[in-house]
Amino acid sequence: MALTSTLPPVLRESGQREVFCGLTSIVWLHRRMPDAFFLVVGSRTCAHLIQSAAGVMIFAEPRFGTAILGERDLAGLADANEELDRLVGDLLARRPEIRTLFLVGSCPSEVIKLDLAKAAERINTRMQGRVRVVNYSGSGIETTFTQGEDGALTSLVPLLPSSPDPQLLIVGTLADGVEERFLSLFARMGLETVRTLPPRQSTDLPPVGPGTRLLLAQPFVADTVRALERRGAQRISAPYPLGVEGSCAWMAAAAAAFGIDPQRVAEVLDPLAERGRRALEPLRRKLEGKRLFLLPDSQLEIPLARFLHRECGMELVEVGTPYLDRQLMAEELPLLPEGTQLSEGQDVEKQLERVRASRPDLVVCGMGLANPLEAEGFATKWSIELVFSPIHGCDQAADLAELFARPLNRRELLQWN
């Protein structure tokens, strides 16, 4: 932690924020749990947001939808509750395969104080265990982008069975393939009881208790961690599993927490790390010395900056984050190079002025800003791709670096004369 003091004061800004709201996380959560349905209680804007962020409409009937409030619902709250019950009844009758229903609060439902917790309780009673109904808020007045996952996971915590037995619980959605890889690596180290939250089936909830040690796969699950800690679990402090260094430290921290012989851990991890670094080498040559500006978006900015600097040699111009959670970033912040300018929150116009003034080689930003920045001559990388792609783990380190090298490669490839 001592190293943190070498960072200059965090630039805190409040102005226009150009970040999705927490509803967006439904796009990956519904794929993770195919037996769950996410019902946003909100407006046409909410429906349009999820549809636009998802980008494709490939599903006949997606496992998410919006209960759109109308003028009639706003006239009286009792009416809105009845309407919601009716609509959920119809939905569950039509989709009998659904085991867990997430009622997701939105900006309008929060403002009119529609009590979704009560609604969930009411519908639960009526469903008599056939479907479990939970609720959380993905509203943009309270959450940003990836925080929606934190809300969804927190809502599941009360449903987890209790168990005092020792186990490792990985918290935060990982791509299925990446997760399997981690489980097999942990097994090789002798760590057999490893569970995940969210699980792949919404009904296959992991237990929690005093023997549970939490390992965070994603840096945006603060509320979930607090809820799990209240159930007796303890968090393992570790950097996030991005890049060779982060992934090895992450796995090693878990192994250490369970008292596994460091020698055995090294036997598993060393060949992986060596191979990962070898795969990274050509990408490092591409990225080394290139200047990087990260705009706040996915909350992955700090671990990414650490990876891109330490393993790929990039220079960090500014590392923006929607919010700075010092506790969950405790292992990451000391790994940032001296003088790294962090910024928290956003005033998008001012931040874009800093981008223009500093002329970075690559800007990581949201989809609304990417093409305008490209048109101004900046290479960009969409941050949303980082939450959809398998980027975690030693084996993925080169793939992760390649996401950032590709825009630069492309610029070198294109010729117009």
Partner 1 sequence: MELTLWTYEGPPHVGAMRVAASMEGVHYVLHAPQGDTYADLLFTMIERRDRRPPVTYTTFQARDLGGDTAELVKRSIQQAVDRFQPEALLVGESCTAELIQDQPGSLAHGMDLGVPVVSLDLPAYSKKENWGAAETLYQLCRGLLKDLVPPPGTAKPGPERWKQENRRPRVNLLGPSLLGFRCRDDVRELRSLLADHGIDVNVVAPLGARPADLIRLPAADANLCLYPEVAGPLCSWLERNFGTPVVRTVPIGIGATAQFLRELSSLLGLEPPELREADRSSRLPWYSKSVDSTYLTGKRVFIFADATHAIAAARIASRELGFTVVGLGSYSREQAREVRAAAQELGLEALISDDYLAVEQAMADAAPELVLGTQMERHSAKRLGIPCAVISAPLHVQDVPARYAPQMGWEGANVIFDSWVHPLMMGLEEHLIGMFRHDFEFVDGHFSHLEGASAPALQLPATAAGGASEVTPLSATPEGGALRWTASGEAELSRIPFFVRGKVRRNTEAYANERGVAEITEETLYEAKAHFSR
Element (H, E) at 276: helix 262-287
Q: Which is nearer to partner 1, 154 or 340 (CB)?
A: 154
**Interface with partner 1 includes 135 (CB under 8 A)?**
no
374 binds partner 1 (CB under 8 A): yes
**Least distance in Å: CB of 108 to partner 1?**
5
User: According to DSSP H, which parts of 25-175 are helical?
Assistant: 26-32, 44-54, 71-75, 77-94, 107-111, 116-127, 147-156
Q: Which helix (H) or strand (E) holds 286?
A: helix 262-287
* Per-residue contact flags (x/-) with partner 1 for residues 137 to 176, judged by CB under 8 A: --xxxx-x--------------------------------
Give me the half-sphere count of Cα atoms (radius 13 Å) on the Cβ side of residue 20.
Answer: 31
Window contacting partner 1 (CB under 8 A); options: 156-164, 285-293, 306-314, 361-369: 361-369
Q: Are 318 and 341 in contact (CB under 8 A)?
A: yes
Nearer to partner 1, 120 or 254 (CB): 120
In 3D space, the residue among 372, 387, 378, 407 whose CA is nearest the CA of residue 301 turns out to be 387
Q: Out of 10, 11, 68, 256, which residue is the one contacting partner 1 (CB under 8 A)?
A: 68
In whole angstroms, the minimum distance from the beta carbon of 337 to partner 1 comes to 30
Give the shortest CB-39-to-partner 1 separation in angstroms. 8
Within positions 302 to 321, which residues make up the interface with partner 1, using CB under 8 A?
none
Neighbouring-strand partners of residue 238: none
Closest approach of partner 1 to the CB of residue 326, in Å:
19
Cβ partners under 8 Å of residue 8, min gap 6: 339, 340, 341
Residues 13-42 that bind partner 1 (CB under 8 A): 15-24, 39, 42
Eight-class DSSP state of 387: H
Asked whether position 356 contacts partner 1 by CB under 8 A, the answer is no
Which of 10, 14, 36 is closest to 25 using CA atoms?
36
Interacting residue ranges for partner 1, rule: CB under 8 A: 15-24, 39, 42-49, 51-53, 57-58, 60-62, 64-74, 80, 83-84, 86-87, 90-91, 107-108, 110-112, 139-142, 144, 349, 366-372, 374-375
